[in-house]
Amino acid sequence: MKRIVLLGTLMAAAAASMAAQAPAAPKVIDIVKLKDNLYVLTSSTPGNAATFSGGNVAVFITDGGVTLVDDKLAGWGQAVLDKVKSVSSKPITTIINTHTHGDHTGNNGFFGAGVEIVAQENTKTNMQKMDPFKGEGAKFLPGKTYKDKMSLGSGKDRIDLYYFGNGHTSGDTFVVFPALRVLHTGDMFAWKDGPLCDRGNGGSCVDFPRTLEKAIAAIKNVDTVIPGHSPMQTPKDLQEYQRFTADLLSHATSAMKASQSVDDAVASFKIDKYPGYKNERVKAAMQAVYDELKK
Ligand SMILES: [Zn+2]
């Protein structure tokens, strides 16, 4: 018996030392310059867990300091900070969380309670349910919230925050840098594929196209769109994505009315109309529509 325990201990020690020797995957974040005072820390898609850093982070350099839009997954804070330091010596003063998910809010704690965290009020409520923001972590929740619209800063440093309703979650912010004609959509336009509608956080694939429609109608004078998880896009791409989500919703709704299965609905959905679109998340989006309409 004693021998077995000893053997087990030795094996555990060996496993631990092997784990210690295995090189951690390097934390690589790429940076794209959009303007002299606006950069994007880009995002790999969530598929590869080893290299996935979280969503696209906007780095906006103002007279008073650096504002980040989102701050990637926990564990990537130092890599984010190093990249920010490579383009500005100013301190990070503000972080806007576009929504609750950990790949957009994961380093609020790393950057510390001295940074002002800003989010839509429903996102703060959603974040309060997350372990990193319970107890001591509550000090890294948004200290400033808004309901429909809010501006931060003024003149060339102004940032406009807009909320238009449920979609990816119940608290998605659209962030506009008016002087630069740039919009960050968060995950209301994450990728060219089915939208992820997180119903547990108030998301809705039924409301998604209407919410995007409102955003497109209200936000003018933009040339560049920073999506949640893919390379830079244009307002035309965002308009196409709105049509895609509306098309997906109406297709799923009529398939459900005709008592078709979700698989049948996916099979008859003509995604070829949307060049460059993937079909990896269409089924989940259609399922979300079915689940929502069933209730
Ligand atoms: Zn998300």
Ligand 1: centre distance to CA 90 (Å): 28
User: What are 60-116's pLDDT values in tens digits?
Assistant: 999 999 999 999 999 999 999 999 999 999 999 999 999 999 999 999 999 988 999
CA distances in angstroms from 220 to 97, 148, 172, 182, 234, listed in the order given: 22, 17, 18, 10, 12
Ligand 1: centre distance to CA 7 (Å): 45
pLDDT at 170: 98
Per the CB < 8 A criterion, the answer to whether 285 and 271 are in contact is: no
Phi and psi at residue 67, to the nearest 5°: -105, 130
Ligand 1: centre distance to CA 265 (Å): 25
User: What are 3-33's pLDDT values in tens digits?
Assistant: 444 444 444 444 444 444 455 678 889 999 9
Ligand 1: centre distance to CA 98 (Å): 9
What's the rounded Cα separation, in Å, for the pair 164 and 214? 6
pLDDT at 9: 46
Residue pointed to by tokens 């049948």? 264
pLDDT at 112: 87
Ligand 1: centre distance to CA 203 (Å): 10
Stretch 196-212: mean pLDDT: 98
Output the average pLDDT for the chain: 92
Residues 6 or more apart whose Cβ sits within 8 Å of residue 164: 172, 174, 211, 212, 214, 215, 218
Ligand 1: centre distance to CA 285 (Å): 14
Which amino acid appears at position 103 of this protein? D
CA distances in angstroms from 80 to 32, 59, 120, listed in the order given: 13, 10, 23
Ramachandran sector of residue 187 (left: φ over 0; alpha: ψ -120 to 50; beta: rest): alpha
Ligand 1: centre distance to CA 102 (Å): 8
Residue pointed to by tokens 């309901």? 147
What's the rounded Cα separation, in Å, for the pair 237 and 191? 10
Residue pointed to by tokens 């506009």? 176
pLDDT at 271: 95
pLDDT at 45: 67
- Strand-pair partners of 192: none
Q: What percent of the chain has pLDDT over 70?
A: 91
Ligand 1: centre distance to CA 277 (Å): 19
pLDDT at 253: 97
What's the rounded Cα separation, in Å, for the pair 197 and 166? 9
Stretch 34-49: mean pLDDT: 87
State yes or no: pLDDT of 1 exceeds 80. no
The four Cα atoms 8, 13, 18, 24 give a dihedral, to 10 degrees, of: 120
Q: pTM value?
A: 0.90
Ligand 1: centre distance to CA 174 (Å): 13
Ligand 1: centre distance to CA 237 (Å): 19
User: What are 117-165's pLDDT values in tens digits?
Assistant: 999 999 999 999 999 999 999 999 999 999 999 999 999 999 999 999 9
pLDDT at 24: 66
Could you tell me the two tokens for 144?
Answer: 């400033």
